[in-house]
Amino acid sequence: MLAVAALVLVTAFGLASPAFEPGQTIPVEYTCDGLDVSPALRWTTPPRGTKSFALIMDDPDAPGGTFTHWLAWNISPKARGLRRGAHPPREGATSFSRVGYGGPCPPSGTPHRYFFKLYALRTPLALPAGSGRPALEKAMKGKVLKRVSLVGLYGR
């Protein structure tokens, strides 16, 4: 009896940016010292059952505690990235007290770490644009299939 083996290629869900390598410096154009536009992001095939994506960008090294730089959700499950300067379908209020992307803007000293966290969700979120991080995290509770992250550095 002959056994037949099938080769199945599985791509892990991952997140990257063409603007910077993981763990490396985020270029000035994506910070408050430059154009303050979001970098392009790319991700690989998400887990089966993904119905939307959410994104949180934050700085856990901020002097006053974790600082939220970007909140976005209800990104299409067919998307495999966001272009430079993107404005996803729903964006939330950041620690800058405004809606949309706010780039790295640390005080002088040691470079800070900036985490881009992408969540594959089992459903779109019934959350209005302009909502804050606590509301987004509450809406995502129990709906996350998988989370991937990308870390960049920036200092002055």
d(Cα 121, Cα 123) in Å, to the nearest integer? Answer: 5
Q: What pLDDT, on the 0 to 100 scale, is given for residue 144?
A: 98
| C-alpha atoms less than 13 angstroms from C-alpha of 22 in its C-beta half-sphere | 9
Count of domains observed in the chain: 1
The range of the structural domain enclosing residue 60 comes to: 25-154
- The answer to whether residue 14 sits within a structural domain is no
- The answer to whether residue 6 sits within a structural domain is no
Q: What pLDDT, on the 0 to 100 scale, is given for residue 75?
A: 98
- The answer to whether residue 52 sits within a structural domain is yes
Q: What pLDDT, on the 0 to 100 scale, is given for residue 115?
A: 98
- The answer to whether residue 11 sits within a structural domain is no
- The answer to whether residue 91 sits within a structural domain is yes
pLDDT tens-place string over residues 101-154: 999 999 988 999 999 999 999 999 999 999 999 999 999 999 999 999 999 999
CATH at 50 = 3.90.280.10
Q: Per-residue pLDDT averaged across 65-89, rounded?
A: 98
Contact between 71 and 93 (Cβ < 8 Å): yes
pLDDT tens-place string over residues 35-72: 999 999 999 999 999 999 999 999 999 999 999 999 99
Q: What pLDDT, on the 0 to 100 scale, is given for residue 108?
A: 86
Q: How distant, in Å, are the alpha carbons of 36, 53, 123, 138, 155 from that of 126?
A: 29, 13, 9, 11, 36
- The answer to whether residue 5 sits within a structural domain is no
Q: What pLDDT, on the 0 to 100 scale, is given for residue 109?
A: 87
- The answer to whether residue 3 sits within a structural domain is no
Q: How distant, in Å, are the alpha carbons of 14, 26, 33, 84, 134 from that of 36?
A: 25, 11, 7, 11, 24
- Predicted confidence band of residue 9 (pLDDT cuts 50, 70, 90): low
Q: What pLDDT, on the 0 to 100 scale, is given for residue 11?
A: 62
pLDDT at 89 over 90: yes
pTM over 0.85: yes
- The answer to whether residue 37 sits within a structural domain is yes
